[in-house]
Structure 1
Amino acid sequence: MAISGFGRGVAVYFILQLVVAAVMISPATAEIRETKVISDARTIIPFDEFGFTHTGFLELNVSGISLSDTGAGLDLSQLGFFLSTLDAWIHVLQQIQELDVTCALQSDLLEVVYTFDRLQAASSNGRATSFSSLFNVTKPGQYTLLFANCLPQIRVSMSVHSAMYNVEPRSGRRVYLSAGSAVLPFVYFIFFLAYCGLAALWISVLVRKRLTAYRIHYFMLAVVILKALNLVCEAEDKSYIERTGSAHGWDVLFYIFSFLKGISLFTLIVLIGTGWSFLKPYLHGKEKKVLMIVIPLQVVANIAQVVLDESGPYARNWVTWRQVFLLVDVICCCAILFPIVWSIKNLREAARTDGKAAINLMKLTLFRQYYVVVICYIYFTRVAVYVLATITSYRYLWTTVVAGELATIAFYIFTGYKFRPEVHNPYFVIDDEEEEAASQAFKLEDEFEL
């Protein structure tokens, strides 16, 4: 079976699955957030999502409340903040569709935090423009903080300071990470140590076999080091958020190393896929174009990631940036497959013309294996991990991070092992009998394809 046909089928199926997963998944943030709402007429305004335990709290401080219409006949109970789980929200939408309720705030399935009719009662002269609320979540679950505006003619402006956290029963310490993410600092640090060990092992390989090491092997080391730095910054980022609700600058370092890690990994796959250093010391024009496409797209992807993380689902263009991130990620993942397919095609053609069928067959086998592994890695980390998140309880969402990181480190190990520097490379040491057997294998494969 021709590898190119197989690749096209897998790529199409992969893209469809990725689109489905993106629709199903919504990201969760957990830090203290300041949000500015300016003349917003949306019926529902989402803010943040958080996994509460039985000792969860929401601190909500809203100031500068301004309505586009301040008429005396307004029913301000139709405006307010509430918490809702995904299951409860689906049932509320059914209630609204069946006209059981006319506003989400009227449903008893939601946890109403504060409605604006209480503003007048809180002020002795007119209506107050700010309030503070401490809401105790008594039912554990994954909740989203939302604002409902059931008065279509009203535009709302306000400054919203929200902080969601769980309290440890024994110590009374606040934990600003969601119930399913509280162990992530430890998880990321463990993987950081694993990559440090991997880097040390690779350095020892390069020292012992420096005479047979290519430039690509040193680039592999750089990729591993960048991945380790990315993980330690993410561990510190999550650790500070867990304790204080703010990243304290670690998010900037995380974004920098995430950007460098993303570019270097995609570049490494492209360089290995083209056979750079292994098969030839140069890149063709079309292979350079792949790099010229992938690297700028990675810049766009990282900008989209920053916007998604920093703005949260409240931002009007949040959905647009999410679609941009998805599209760019799909294009990058598909683009890095082409050089591998080109190398496979070139090796097949060379095997029929240069009389070195066995050597090219071994190279062809290696690149076919790598192609399949890259497909599996992309599919698992881009689709399977997100699907796993949909079926996993919010308390154990950290397991999806572990699954994704295990797949990534396995991919790194496979790449290093298959393309390690060797004095007597088994892919090039071929005797006459193997040469003849390989030639027959190519003939049989040609007849099968015909």
Structure 2
Amino acid sequence: MTTSRPPTSAAAAEPDEPGGPYGDPLDAVRGIVPLVVERAGQAERDVRVDDEVMERLVAAGTMMLMAPRDYGGAEAEPSVLIDVVQELSRADGSTGWAVMASMSGTGTMLTLLPEEGARAIAGSPNPMCAGQAPPAGTARRVPGGFEVRGRFSFASGSAHAGWFLGGYRVLDESGEPVLDADGRPSTAIGVVPRAGVELLGGWDVMGLVATGSYDYEVVPQVVEEHFLRVDGMDALRGGPLYTMGLKSLPGVGHAAFALGVAQRALEEFAVLAAVKKRPPSGPLNGNVAVQRDVAQWTARHRAARAFTHDAFTRLYQVARDGGERTPELQADCRVAATHAVYTAAEITREVYLASGSEGLRDGHAIQRCFRDAHAASQHLFTAEHTYVDAGRIYLGTPGLTPRHTEVMTYTFAPPLPA
């Protein structure tokens, strides 16, 4: 069984150590990439990331890059996280996605939950978290804590998770909804151990197959109060990675995943174009139209990567220096992530079309890149409405409320009303 117990807090990372006690995280991942590439096809058939791949990533500290230093994590800067997830996703989209989802979920829970709950997770044999945050379940207050239950979807990395997170509507002891200070339904986010979850299947998809993002049920059970955070999404501990906004963090991984998959598609096409001929001309790489297309794809990819690094680095630096996290800075991060995802979908589609029958075949990396990028484009976090939300902020649309600006960093925010 894969475990990822972190080092003790005495070995916690120093601020100038990008990978904490594990060394350079990008170098470590590059050493694992050949195995990821080798096992990618079988992982898709198994609908789970390869066990040996995950064990090596755990040993390298990759799964704790977003965890607080107090719990043996690295609190890596966004630039490091982007490079690591991009490199893994370049090797295999499903592996990159599962890792970034687990890193994000684990780091968020260790930062968000009350101290006793966070320490229980970090000290467990396997602190990796999977699951979904929208309040699809209920948490009814009972003596000793809360009785939680609910059905959820999209548990990316479920095969290797020790804990499953979920969002809950809070109920009082009689089962009636609890209201927060503003009169809105009270919600909570929290975790249950793997033994308290039943995987339901439901992951019959065209792309990101090996993420094993199954539906799951949190069976009725009582959890202690410290395993839930009620009506709060501010970080309780950690440095600027979390003060930049816990709800901004998923964008780092979504963008990096997309950049990695698009990069792999471009690399695979360059190899194919050197040998594939389209009569009556010679190899594709000698065709001026193909040369033009490749240059344009490369420019779009590098522009998306530059925007991603710029947006998240600026927000991180503001958080580090104690500055104001303006709506514009947060909007930039959300737009950078959405733009990267849509750019990757467009590039992989065009590469797939240009590849001819080779890209059509099962097992070809171009086909898998096409499927993975388009599967990722369906995620609500990078849905097209984020452009509308950001546009309102950029334009200074009158009547903006805190909810309008908060949506820029909310992982599962619905579209705003007109």
Q: TM-score, with normalisation over the residues of structure 2?
A: 0.28
Structure number with greater Rg is 1
**RCO higher in 1 or 2 (8 Å CA, sep ≥ 6)?**
1
Instruction: Report the TM-score when normalising by structure 1.
Output: 0.27
